[in-house]
Each structure stands twice: as C-alpha cells, then as structure tokens.
A and B are shown apart, each in its own frame.
Chain A
C-alpha cells in the first residue's frame, strides 16, 4: 500500500498560520492582565550611581517599578546551562536586572508594570538613571588583551574559557609540511531575527501556588526547569505553554531574564502580566550569533593531500554566558574541524571572551557554519596555492564511502556518508567544465565570473544523552512522544520537541498515519505545553525528526503491537498468524477475518472484551535516546558575477545537493533547505551586526540590518541523494541547518574565485558592494 512517508503532502499547519488563525503568545489575553516593560541600558558599560523611579511610580496606571535591588533575594541569577568541562569556565552572575553595573546596550535596568502598554512606555521615559560610563570592548580578541576594560570583577582579563581540541600531531604535521596556507577570518555577528519577537504572559495562582507561563520557546521543558530554578518554585508547579511560535533560529532556546521577571511580577502583584518585545528591543535583548575572530591554517602535500589544520579562535560570548553560549563555539564547532575530509592532525584553541555586547548563543547552525566556513575557505586557498582545481582537491581528501562509520581526528564518529555522490550530482547539474570555459571567456572581456564549491558535513540530531553529560550540557538529549488513540480511533500525539515552523505537525502525522493505515487527517500533533507533553528537550540542533520523530515512531509501533494482541484475541487467532494489510490485521489466508485499526481502538478503549493480561486503553509512551549523532552532508555550488565597477555580487546559479538520509516529506525538506540557504546567503552578502567602539549597536533596526528580501535572492536548484543513517530506525538525519552551514562558504568561495585574477585571496563576510569594491581597489593598488 502507498505510504505517506516520502510524500510531499502540504503542510497542515499553514492554512492556520497564514490566515491569521494561529495563537501566538501575544494573542493570549487574560482577565485582569497588566503589562510589563523593561528599561534597557543606553550604555555598553557603565556604573549605575542612582536610579530614581519616583516620577514613574507616580504616573497614573503604574502598579510597580522594580530595579535590581528588589530582586537579589527573590531570584536566582540567570543560569548558563552548558558547563563546558576542561576549559576553566568562568560563569559570573547574570542578574535579572543590572546591579551596580550595566554591561551591554540593552542590559535590563528596571521593570515597569502598568495597566496598559502605553502607560508602561511613558513610565519608562520617566525613570531617571544616573550612569557613570566606563570603557567598552566589543571585539573578542581585544577583550582578552591586557588593559582591556574588565566586565566582571571575578573574571580576570574577560576570559570565559580556554578550550582545546586536538587529534594526531598538528605541530609535527606543520613542521614537515610541503605546503602551508593561512587565513584570518572574521565571522560576522548576526541577528537571528525570528519573525515573531519574544513574548511572555505569566499568571501566578497564589491559591494553588501554580505558575503558568506562556512563552516563546523552542524547548518548553528546559524553560520549565530553568524558570523553577530562577524563581525558586518547585518544578511541578511551573507550567510552560509555548503555543504557535514564529521562528526561533536558536534565539528562543535560552533562558532570558525577561520571562522570569514577568513571572516574578505576576507572583508579586497577583495579576497576569504580559511582555512583548519590539523589533528594536529584540535586536538588543535577544541573543546574537557567530562573532568569531579566527586565525586558521592548513598544511598538506604538493599532491594535494591535507595533513593538518590548526586554529586559534576568539569567540565573543557577549556580556554574560547565555544558556548554551559556551558550548556553541567549542563542542559544536571545534569537533567538526575535519569537515568532510580525512585530516589526520588537528589542533584548535578556542578562547571565549566576555565583551560589552548582547550575549551570543546558538543561531541556525550554531558553531558548525563557523567550522565549515573556515575549512572550506582553507581548502580553496590550499587549492589556489597548488594551482589545483578546488573540486579535485576536495575529492582527493574525502572520507571514502566505504569507510563509514568513520572516526575523525577530533574523536567523533560520522554515521554514514557518500560525499562523492553529492558532489558528482551537483557538478553535473552545473556543467562545471562548461562554466569554467565561460568564465575564462568572460575574463577576456573584463568580466569577473566565479564558481564556489562547498562540500560540508555537519553534526546534528543531538543526542545521545550520555554524551550530553560528558560535554557539560545541562540536560538530556533523548526525546519523547505519547501516542494516544481515542475511542473513535482518532489519534493525538504529544511530543517533547517543540516545532516552531519546521512542519512536524505534518511530518510526524505522516509517520503515525502510516503506522495505523490512516489518512493524515486522523492524527494531530500536540506540542509546547509542559502539562500534557512528556519530558523532552526541545527543537534545536536539527534533532526534532531524528530523535523526537523516532520516539513518535516507536510509540506508534507500541500502540500497534497492543492493537495486534487485541486483534488476535477478537479474531480468535494466534498473533503469529496475523498480517497487517490495507490498514487491517487479518488472519493470513482468510481475508474476511480482519479487524481495522479504528475498530480495535474502540474495543481497546471500551475494554468489553480484553484478553487476559492486556490493560484497557490504547496509548503508548516512548523515550528515544540515539546511539550517536547524525551527520548529513552535501555539495553546494554557486556561480556569481562580480560587477568590478560597483562591487555588487550577482548570484547566477545556486545548486544545493543535500543528503539527509531518508526523507519523510520532500517538499518540507526543500523548504528547510530554501530557508537555510537564504539565511546563509544573507550571512555571506549582507547581514552584519555592527557595534561602534563605544558599544553602540549601529544596526539596531531593519533599516540598517539587511535581512534578505525575496527580491534580493536567487532561484535555488535543489537535489538530493539518499544515504540512510544507521543510528535511528527511520534512517533519517537533520536538515534544518544544512543550508546555512553550506551557503556562506559556497558564496564567498565563488566571489573569491571570481576575483582571483586580481590577486584577491580572501574577503571577509559580508561581501557588501562597499567591501568588495574596497578589496578590488586594494588589489589594484588603489587608495581604499
């Protein structure tokens, strides 16, 4: 029978979301609700000498104004949940509202609670804060230099950690290498810019002692735990509800001060309290991504064999260590230094630095784009040094298809791969040789065409939990599902992950409907409410399908096994003689003796005739903890033309061939790749968060921060190969981040290829027209 697995059915959540019928946190309105607003520091670094809130408190409609001093006994500081081991990690306290000092533009200083949003806004203007400005430091490398302004009294030299990844003998390899290349790379700081900003509604019931917090969360169970810690509430009296969530890209993983503050206010005042970010507030108060300064080198043989990689990386953490902040530039970054290649000798030193900027945490790809980019830029530079074709150098160094599972020098084991397969397919789609000829011809006419290639692999599908413990991640990395079948046969599935745009309301229903021989309409997926979903760890790290989807599959199989026992009993047959066909259990050879799934659901739920030893009801819970991560991979190619007169880059073609194992819904996978690639192109060409030397965010609105627009982006040509993962029963891998991981390197490689005839070796992202033009002028010996 035909299956839903592998079918491009339309996303079932979309009609609701695109016709305004979704329920987002800001849509939640409760009787007696009041509003919160946070006064944020206009200084990057300053002593707070005095806060005078008298006028604000006196404004009609203001219920309360809180400052840091009001909270020190009531709240536990905002915790960091990634306790990176063997790194001398320093985690200074992160107060919910600044005490004594502010440490970035956007740091919370006071909270106003009032009867309306307008009154809140007026009251914020009436709070008088006397600051004594201190020197700012925004660059992570500069923050670690002697004499840099110190953010935290107990963190000398601003160094949050020093973490080393090593395998083989990198120094030895470099000492005897025939060829060495080096690059200095700046990983531009990025603003995640989820369409929905953060929001929270807190309602504390003093009678039951129960706090209900509606929050924009990618991982409500993590937020339940962290909120219970911050608010000193027993965890079973905290309920997080994360309804429809309008994107996150990592920015809705962390525990922030704001959500806990809103809960605190509700507990204090006995009123429901709502807080919703502005976009410009979002750009200051919600985490940023990337922000590395990287010194990287690669060595190899004249024949093109890569023998070693060495890095020194300065990773900016911002003013405080955000929830996963220390893990992103280390575990999720350094362990991937082998890329898609057999590189025997690897050494990386990563310094985490506190800077007077908004905290940096996981942003789509989280550490892996920063690794892929440096590797892929180095491989291109190596090929150029050798005068070799970058495609052929990659091929020579690929981990061969027959060597999987393959353990790289950093110690992790890739589950499966066929790197040649995706590369060959992509090259065929482009007509690589034809383009090289066209490029040579164009150059003779003074036109600069280029082709970029990126062959990536990445670590995702986070788990397993045992590894989570070993790497200091403050939680598990299994996930969970309850499959509950109603008397009429309809099914609800409660999951521990929290889709927020990825389409699992559709894909998970496809898994379950297939199992029961159902149309997809008979299955609903429920997520986000910690009071009815099983303990899980959320949606990030491209883990939802590989880990949470597997839990759904296993729970559905358990339900089906029980239904089979009941079918055997009702058909008076031996279970071994039953076969599943056309949505029914039937006695082999007697097609008239059959029980459909819906009928079994009714019989199980009414329990009039259960076999001995079988409990009534029809539901099952599964917790799935994978044995390994999964490693999707692919080859992206892009061709560009650079207008040397203006520095403008035009993408001519963008080809992405990805392999994420078996595919549940090809259209949804295409959508994930589309979104990821566009974000990667944004990173490559136009997105950058810029601070000035005083720590002022100069790209504080969408008039200055260039999120890609549809009209600026190219058509994408997508294809896939299928190499199933052996670590889960469906053979699936993650695909939410692959596009972002591959695209930035692909585009920059293409532009550098186009400009190589001018002697240009490397230009830092984003390749804005001004940046490219300046590089061309420098290459020509001009003044720029």
Chain B
C-alpha cells in the first residue's frame, strides 16, 4: 500500500495552481484525498506530481449566488452539512451528503474532489444533475462553464481537461414552492449507491407541475432522466405512475451488474428509489 514516488506541491494561490497544472507533466489534483489516495496506494494511479489545492481559500465555501448557491470545489461535506443555506433550500443535498462515507470522510472529503473523480456510484453527481447545476472550470487558457449534464462522461471520466481545475459549482434556486429529496440503497461494504435517485418537484394542488430527476449507481455515470420526469408532470404521483416513471427512468440505459447487485436487481431498485424519492420530495412540498 505504498504509492510510487511522486512530487508534492501545495498551491499558494489559484493562479499558482493553474500555472502548475499548465505544466502538463502528469499532475493530479488533490484536496481531501478520499478518492485519490486509495488509488495511489494500490498504484492504480501513478501521477508524477500531486498538486494540493486544499489551502486555496477561494476554492472553499458556500455562498448565496443569483438566489441559488455557489459551492467552492474544495468545500468539505462537513461544510455542506453545516450550511444553513443548504439545509433550508436543498434537502436533496442534505440527504445525500449525510450518507457519504463516515464522519471522518465527511470531515475531509470535498464535493469538488468527488465530482471530479466521477465514480459512477457516487451520490453527489446525481444531486447536481437533478438541481441543474453548472460547473465553472478554469485553466491558464481561460474560463468556461459546463453544465452538469455535459460534465459527467463515463466511469472516472469528465469534461475536465488535463490543465483545468474545477473552481465551483453554481446551483440554481429550486422552483418557488418546490421540494427535493435523495434516496439510495447502499452497497453494504462501500456505502456507495447500488441505485440512487435525486428528485426536485413542484406541485400545485397535489398535482406535479415540474420535475427534475437524476439517477446514480446504475451505469457508467450519473444521468438525468428527463423523459421519465415528464411522465410525472400532470399526475398526482399515484403508485401506477411512479412505477411507470421508475421504469422509464432506466429505459435504454446499460445497467451495471456485479457481485453486489445483478443488473436485473439494479434495474428494479432504480424504480424503487425513484418512487421513494418522488414521494419523499412531494411530502416535503
């Protein structure tokens, strides 16, 4: 469990970090280290250099932004759980964050680190997709904004270029009077989702008028289930509708099967968590 030899640089400023990344010499970014260090110890990742961004102040913190949120990439899960803004407005993020790892992991792990790692069973990508978040990326070459739906591109694969750093995530406000929820069934050993569903809904007199739905844990990446979400709109989320929405959510998706959950079971769980997440969100409206 000893990594190969690497250089370690602690960035003193954002500019300093971007300069190091521009060097293009096999540099990996590290913040909380909870995704990267196990890979290093197994020698599955063998970077020449680690760039530690945990000390860059402007990368962490949660602030109100355009009636929504701006969450710095190096914000820890603990900071999210302690944030009144998140607690008051984004139950879906509270649900997911409180179930990430254990206390020690939440104290050190960062939202940006998890997102950039893009584990196909991580909770947060699904949450950010359902919330319609967009990600600010920056490199020495310039800035760009990538929508969550374009960011996650496969197992451990994202839109981030080699020299780019994830700066923050911008989360728009929930629809007025809307509510949200995240429900997952966890793999007993890792705690990662066998199936997880993040839902944002708005209702008018018990009828769903808006819905955003994203799933995780089921395939090579978290994904938005837009067609399924549309099926819910205009209904009262009765059991039959939930069943249809759940089935539609994974239509055309190549479902993962492994020793913990065969694909058929995961497909079934997807429908279960979709239904439960929708019910939980509606109950919060």
- Using a CB–CB cutoff of 8 Å, the interface residues on chain A facing chain B are 117-118, 121-122, 125, 278-280, 645-648, 685-686, 690, 698-699, 702-707, 712, 768-770, 773-774, 783-784
Contacts and interface: CB of A to CB of B under 8 A. Distances in A.
B234 interface: no
Interface in B224-262: 259-262
B264 A784 contact: yes
**Chain A interface mostly:** loop
A769 B266 CA distance: 11
Contact of A278 (B1, B268, B269): B1
Interface string B106-146: 00000000000000000000000000000000000000000
Given A118-B2, A706-B189, A769-B185, A646 B272 contact: yes
B203 to A, nearest CB: 24
Contact of B269 (A646, A698, A707, A774): A646
B156 interface: no
B190 A703 contact: yes
A702 B189 contact: yes
Contacts of B1: 278-280
Contacts, number: 54
Nearest to B195: A646
B188 interface: yes
Given A118-B2, A121-B2, A704 B265 contact: no
Contact of A768 (B42, B43, B260): B260
19 contacts: A118-B5, A121-B2, A122-B4, A280-B42, A685-B188, A686-B188, A698-B259, A703-B189, A704-B260, A706-B189, A712-B188, A768-B188, A769-B261, A769-B265, A770-B260, A773-B268, A774-B265, A783-B264, A784-B265
Given A280-B1, A707-B189, A768-B260, 13 more contacts: A122-B4, A122-B5, A647-B265, A648-B185, A685-B188, A703-B189, A704-B260, A705-B189, A706-B187, A706-B188, A770-B261, A774-B262, A783-B264
Nearest to A645: B272
A647 B266 CA distance: 12
B39 to A, nearest CB: 12
A121 B190 CA distance: 26
A685 B189 CA distance: 12
A658 B260 CA distance: 34
Contacts of B261: 769-770
Interface residues of B, number: 21
B167 to A, nearest CB: 30
Interface in B11-56: 42-43
Nearest to B271: A645
A50 to B, nearest CB: 23
Instruction: Identify which of B43, B189, B259 gathers the most chain A CB atoms within 10 Å of its CB.
Output: B189
Contacts of A278: 1
Contacts of B260: 704, 768, 770
Contacts of B188: 685-686, 706, 712, 768
A117 B189 contact: no
Instruction: Identify which of A702, A704, A712, A770 gathers the most chain B CB atoms within 10 Å of its CB.
Output: A770
Interface in B42-82: 42-43
Contacts of B268: 773
Instruction: Identify which of B188, B259, B268 gathers the most chain A CB atoms within 10 Å of its CB.
Output: B188
B8 to A, nearest CB: 14
Given A280-B1, A783-B264, A784-B265, A704 B190 contact: yes
B185 A646 contact: yes
Contacts of A707: 189
B117 to A, nearest CB: 14
B10 to A, nearest CB: 21
Contacts of B185: 646, 648, 769
A279 B185 CA distance: 26
Nearest to B190: A703
Instruction: Identify which of A280, A646, A685, A699 gathers the most chain B CB atoms within 10 Å of its CB.
Output: A646
A783 B4 CA distance: 48
B239 to A, nearest CB: 11
B265 A770 contact: yes
A122 B3 CA distance: 9
B234 to A, nearest CB: 26
B103 to A, nearest CB: 11
Given A703-B189, A704-B189, A706-B188, A770 B42 contact: no
A774 B188 CA distance: 17
A691 to B, nearest CB: 10
Nearest to A705: B189
A251 B35 CA distance: 30
Nearest to B43: A125
A702 B260 CA distance: 13
Contacts of B43: 125
Nearest to A700: B42
A117 B259 contact: no
A532 B4 CA distance: 43
Contacts of B264: 783-784
Contacts of B265: 647, 769-770, 773-774, 784
A475 to B, nearest CB: 35
A712 B188 CA distance: 8
Nearest to A125: B43
The 7 closest A-B pairs by CB, nearest first: A706-B189, A706-B188, A121-B2, A703-B190, A686-B188, A278-B1, A770-B265
Nearest to A118: B2
Nearest to B266: A770
A568 B15 CA distance: 88
Nearest to A643: B272
Contacts of B269: 646
Nearest to A277: B1
Contacts of B272: 645-646
Contacts of B189: 686, 699, 702-707
A768 to B, nearest CB: 7
Contacts of A686: 188-189
A699 B2 contact: no
Contacts of A699: 189, 259
Contacts of B5: 118, 122
Nearest to B268: A773
Nearest to B41: A278
A26 to B, nearest CB: 13
A688 B120 CA distance: 23
Contacts of A704: 189-190, 259-260
B279 to A, nearest CB: 13
